[in-house]
Amino acid sequence: MLMTFATHEVGPGFRVHVCQSAKFKTIRLKMLWRWPLSATSATKVALLPLVLRRGCRTWPTSRKIAVQLEQMYGSGFDVDIAKIGETHLVEWDMETPDPSYINGRPDLLTQALTFMRDIAFDPLLQEGGFSADYVATERTNLRHRLEGLINDKPRYAIHRLYEVMCAQESFAIGRNGRLEDLPELTAQELLDEYNQLRVGAPCDLYVVGDVNAEQTAELAAALFTVADRKPVAIPPATRKKAGEVRYAEEVADVNQAVLTMGLRSNVGYASPAYPALLVYNGVLGAYPHSKLFVNVREKNSLAYFASSRLESTKGLQYIVAGIDSSKYQSALDLIEAQIAAVKAGDFTTAELVAAQKSITTGLLSMQDDAEYIIDAHMLGQINGVERPPDAVIAAVQAVQPADVVAVANETELDTVFFLKGAASKDGVGHEN
């Protein structure tokens, strides 16, 4: 049985989503603050959870936090930052054992919610501000994370692709903010940003496990009372049409060059044609049986890897391929030929069915992962469209070749970014 959520509005801009299921031996909790992604706030928002997880008023040090989690039968806790479209997300993630498997059945759900509340809403303050030591340490850690992106060449190339492609849009900002903002970021500025999010960020609390939905919502309402809460409106992601194709390149110390291509689409997560978009991406490049892998990598040996992926909230698709720098033009031409083939309907019934089966298998298998169940539901919340997995599966299986062709022709190449080795003489010219 596929997982579904019961949603309760328990306060201004505060929703609790409960998926009651006995299939898991733990209770998974995730709380998300949503905030508009912007150049003025992104780095502060990225730094905030790193500082907050270091200590709160109740548990002011990492050691005391660790002791508390151990007393909760080895519960796990972490924080993270994400972005979906142009929504910036602060994530508080926790997993605690299902108390029915423990002698005495301790009330671990209440303990976990209380712990999460205290970390997020009752921070450690010293002389009216965040701990200067904690801010300094986590600022350094965030700097290392930003600087370390270059060590993952495909991820770095995709990041640079979007910086070029979306230069006039906030989507160009990475989820971890901007390196240039860190040196000037003070503890007071961080506290000011926190106070804005604390009362203004729409908050979604997810609970997945063998719990009572109504009682869990009532418990959350009692524990998470925040005075003067005034949630801000999060604008939808902007959409732009593809213009004349832009080409950019960057030289790096790489043994394997990375070719990335960004496409813009009129079809996204909220579109009726979304199931056909999934199948189109499956036929083109999402799987080992897709055209990019089979024709670019396997048959013609022009790439070490080649795939495509969607950012459906923003209406974007990217293609990434690891290649020899000298094979840039050949690889680019062959990838463009695969795109053209799908637009022309030049794919077999077997390719279509393989894509549908892979999508269906993925959706079914992900129902065994509580974190995916939460993230998939949040994607729908941000896009304003509920897409239950069973409905998506049925719609995907009903997609016809003409539907794939229609979606493919709504998708146009916008930007090519090439990360090449220093010794290469082959390339695409200067950024324009």
pLDDT digits (tens, 9 = 90+) for 45-70: 999 999 999 999 999 999 999 999 99
Select from 223, 254, 272 the last residue of a domain.
Answer: 223
Same domain assignment for residues 130 and 217: yes
Mean pLDDT (the chain, rounded): 94
Q: Look at residue 432 and tell me whether its pLDDT is greater than 60.
A: no
Select from 159, 188, 223 the last residue of a domain.
Answer: 223
In a domain, 231, yes or no: no
Q: Look at residue 351 and tell me whether its pLDDT is greater than 80.
A: yes
Same domain assignment for residues 306 and 189: no
Same domain assignment for residues 194 and 274: no
Q: Look at residue 429 and tell me whether its pLDDT is greater than 90.
A: no
Confidence band for 225, pLDDT divided at 50, 70 and 90: confident
Same domain assignment for residues 253 and 213: no
Q: Look at residue 427 and tell me whether its pLDDT is greater than 80.
A: no
User: How far is residue 276's CA from residue 360's CA, in Å, rounded to a whole number?
Assistant: 13
Same domain assignment for residues 148 and 278: no
In a domain, 189, yes or no: yes
Q: Which residues of 6-15 are buried (b: 16+ CB within 10 A; e: fewer)?
A: ebbebbebbb
Same domain assignment for residues 111 and 169: yes
Q: Look at residue 401 and tell me whether its pLDDT is greater than 80.
A: yes
- What pLDDT does residue 199 have? 94
Q: Look at residue 226 and tell me whether its pLDDT is greater than 90.
A: no
In a domain, 194, yes or no: yes
In a domain, 215, yes or no: yes
In a domain, 278, yes or no: yes
Same domain assignment for residues 176 and 252: no
User: How far is residue 19's CA from residue 1's CA, in Å, rounded to a whole number?
Assistant: 12
Same domain assignment for residues 273 and 331: yes
Select from 172, 191, 223 the last residue of a domain.
Answer: 223
> pLDDT tens digits for 245-268?
999 999 998 889 999 999 999 999
In a domain, 232, yes or no: no
- Tell me the CA end-to-end span of the chain in Å, nearest whole number: 51
Between residues 424 and 232, the one the model is more confident about: 232
DSSP state of 123: B
Tally of domains in the chain = 2
Q: Look at residue 181 and tell me whether its pLDDT is greater than 70.
A: yes
Q: Look at residue 166 and tell me whether its pLDDT is greater than 80.
A: yes
In a domain, 33, yes or no: yes
Q: What is the pTM of this model?
A: 0.94
Structural domain containing residue 138 = 6-223
CATH code where residue 190 lies: 3.30.830.10
- What pLDDT does residue 1 have? 55
Same domain assignment for residues 251 and 392: yes
Average pLDDT of the residues in 64-90? 97
In a domain, 431, yes or no: no
- What pLDDT does residue 255 have? 85
* From 35-44, 288-297, 403-412, 419-428, the region with the lowest mean pLDDT: 419-428
Same domain assignment for residues 255 and 216: no
Q: What is the dihedral of CA 18, 24, 25, 27, to 10 degrees?
A: -20
Same domain assignment for residues 205 and 278: no
Q: Look at residue 430 and tell me whether its pLDDT is greater than 50.
A: no
Same domain assignment for residues 307 and 208: no
Q: Which strand (E) or helix (H) includes residue 419?
A: strand 411-421
